[in-house]
Structure 1
Amino acid sequence: MVCSTYQQGGVKVSLSDRAVVDQFNLRFPRGMREQLKDMAMRNCRSMNSEIIFQLQTAISNNVETKKADAQA
């Protein structure tokens, strides 16, 4: 079976749109790749989707922290 879509950070992206998706090579500290692989398996995600999810969560938390600090 050939899929015409894939998951990009929880959003289905058609393969024809793949050219507009940014790519970035990343070096992991020793052991981090295995941690991400385990997290992805537990969350039923690809490693790419898990990395995107974790980055989005961290960015969102950072924005919320800055908003809270500004209100204090």
Structure 2
Amino acid sequence: MTDEAGKVTDRGPVSFRFVRGTPEAYLRTTLLARDTSGKLWAYDSVYRDSRLIPVWTRQQIGHGWGICNAIL
């Protein structure tokens, strides 16, 4: 991952999980959140009965995000 100046800000593996019985794409979402220490977390979720329900436990996908106040 790089910042807008092209400086590498993070490195790590990229993976995809295909799980039997996974809901249709329009029902799935990933919520991104940053904690107070600057770690970036992904929460894979699905919409069911008009509610967002976590599918897996959160996964740390980055660090050093403490300087950011928005993810676009």
TM-score when normalising by structure 2: 0.24
Q: Which structure would you say has the larger Rg? A: 1
Structure of greater relative contact order (alpha carbons < 8 Å, 6+ residues apart): 1
